[in-house]
């Protein structure tokens, strides 16, 4: 009997949930390839350690961009590696796989995701949408006739959806999420300090002092990078309010998109959302003060899931239990 597996195939991280075991794998969606012979050198955490630090013949590739497969072969190699690592393949049986995609993916992109999972050793492959799965993982009962709203902020996409009776009623997918936050920080420091920093450094700044609302002016971080004027290594100190300024325009896009989804929601469901609030999931939900920012502009209570990074993967576990029931895909 093969174990069913749920895969959160994220732009930034891949999480795998094995039925009966819970989340057994959480690694960066990164693959290092030797360009001389196109062989995969490292995958996941090991490859992430190499970002920005490799010799010329080693390329570090992130095969997913904006929640969509940008490099099919590398995605397939990465999935195969992770699935092999779990060793869930029985001698005969192939596991059922439930894999998650952003709401904005086209049918061609959906086929590519399913195909990559099939090729990497899956039996039956099901596809479901991230905000729905995240809502389940965050503990919302989406199968009742009541409105639930989720904002799932991943690495590549922010998915906003209103759910009722197990289905998505209205949704929007934005390609502004964790990666774009990092890019905004890189651009801000480049423009305001003449300092070039890498994406990993930006990620660290975001995690340590990033804030969406009323940042603490006392919070600072020392950043090292390359001076754009003389090209030498240099360090500077950046404050939380500066990072808030760097992220502000992008975060307001999320607020605006959430407002649009609310405006398209049937009034009965809107009333439920005012009562129950909006649930934030995904790694982006960890940005300090994001709940307060959204609540401030939309006048609706906003809650953050208990383990936002794992919400989608946890949701796959719950949905796999009754996978035969929702054979809609």
What single string gives the DSSP state of each residue in 143-156?
Answer: TSSS-EEEEEE-SS
CA distance 65 to 108: 15
The predicted model gives 291-299 an average pLDDT of 96
The mean per-residue pLDDT over the stretch 204-210 comes to 95
Could you identify the residue written with the tokens 């920093």? 197
Delineate the domains of the chain, giving CATH numbers in brackets: 5-132+312-321 (3.30.420.40), 144-176+252-309 (3.30.420.40), 178-246 (3.90.640.10)
Q: Say what the pLDDT of residue 84 is.
A: 83
Which residues are documented as binding site for ATP?
11-13, 155-157, 203-206, 283-286
Give the Å distances, CA to CA, from 277 to 66, 147, 292.
Answer: 27, 10, 12
The pLDDT value given to residue 146: 92
The per-residue b/e assignment along 127-165, b for 16 or more CB within 10 angstroms, e otherwise, is bbbbbbbbbbbbebebeeebbbbbbbbbbbbbbbbbbbe
Residue that wins the pLDDT comparison between 89 and 70 = 70
Tens of pLDDT, residue by residue over 89-147, are: 554 467 889 999 888 888 888 888 888 888 887 788 999 999 999 999 999 999 999 99
pLDDT digits (tens, 9 = 90+) for 228-285: 999 999 999 999 999 999 999 999 999 999 999 999 999 999 999 999 999 999 999 9
Does the structure show a pLDDT above 80 at 11? yes
Per-residue confidence at 328, pLDDT binned at 50, 70, 90? very low
Total H helices, total E strands in the chain: 10, 18
**In this model, does residue 167 exceed pLDDT 50?**
yes
21-25, 208-212, 288-292, 323-327: which range is least confident on average? 323-327
Residue among 90, 72, 79, 62 at smallest CA distance from 120: 79
Residue 15 pLDDT: 93
Average pLDDT, the chain: 90
Q: In percent, how much of the chain has pLDDT > 70? A: 95
Answer yes or no: is pLDDT of 88 > 80. no
Contact, 216 vs 247, CB < 8 A?
no
| pLDDT at position 325 | 57
Residue set of the binding site = 11-13, 155-157, 203-206, 283-286
Contact 3, 83 (CB under 8 A): no
Cross-strand pairs, 59: 33
Which residues neighbour 37 within 8 Å (Cβ) at sequence distance 6 or greater? none
Residue 65 burial (CB < 10 Å; 0-12/13-18/19+)?
A: middle
pLDDT exceeds 60 at position 295: yes
Q: Is the pLDDT at 56 greater than 90, yes or no?
A: no
């Amino acid at each position: 009997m093969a174990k069913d597996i749920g895969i959160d195939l994220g732009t930034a991280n891949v999480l795998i949930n094995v039925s009966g075991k819970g989340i057994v794998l959480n690694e960066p969606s990164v693959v290092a390839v030797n360009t001389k012979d196109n062989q995969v050198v490292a995958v996941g955490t090991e490859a992430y350690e190499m970002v920005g630090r490799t010799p010329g013949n080693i390329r570090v590739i992130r095969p997913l961009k904006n929640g969509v497969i940008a490099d099919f072969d590398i995605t397939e190699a990465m999935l195969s590696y992770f699935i092999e690592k779990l060793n869930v393949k029985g001698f005969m049986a192939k596991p059922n796989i439930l894999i998650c995609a952003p709401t904005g993916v086209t049918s061609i992109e959906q086929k590519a995701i399913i195909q990559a999972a099939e090729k990497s050793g899956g039996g039956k492959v099901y596809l479901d949408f991230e905000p729905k799965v995240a809502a389940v993982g965050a503990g919302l009962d989406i199968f009742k006739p009541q409105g639930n709203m989720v904002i799932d902020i991943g690495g590549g996409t922010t998915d906003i959806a209103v759910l009722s009776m197990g289905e998505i009623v209205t949704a929007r997918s934005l390609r502004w999420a964790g990666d774009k936050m990092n890019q905004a920080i890189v651009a801000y420091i480049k423009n305001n300090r003449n300092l070039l920093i890498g994406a990993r450094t930006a990620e660290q700044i975001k995690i340590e002092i990033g804030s969406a609302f009323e940042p603490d002016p006392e919070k600072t971080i020392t950043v090292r990078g390359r001076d754009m004027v003389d090209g030498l290594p240099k360090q500077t100190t950046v404050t939380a309010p500066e990072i808030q300024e760097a992220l502000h325009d992008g975060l307001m896009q999320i607020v605006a998109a959430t407002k649009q989804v609310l405006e398209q929601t049937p009034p009965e469901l809107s009333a439920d959302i005012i009562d129950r609030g909006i649930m934030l999931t995904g790694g982006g939900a960890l940005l300090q003060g994001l709940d307060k920012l959204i609540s401030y502009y939309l006048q609706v209570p906003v809650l953050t899931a208990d383990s936002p990074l794992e919400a989608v993967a946890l949701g796959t576990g719950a949905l796999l239990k009754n996978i035969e029931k929702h054979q809609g895909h």
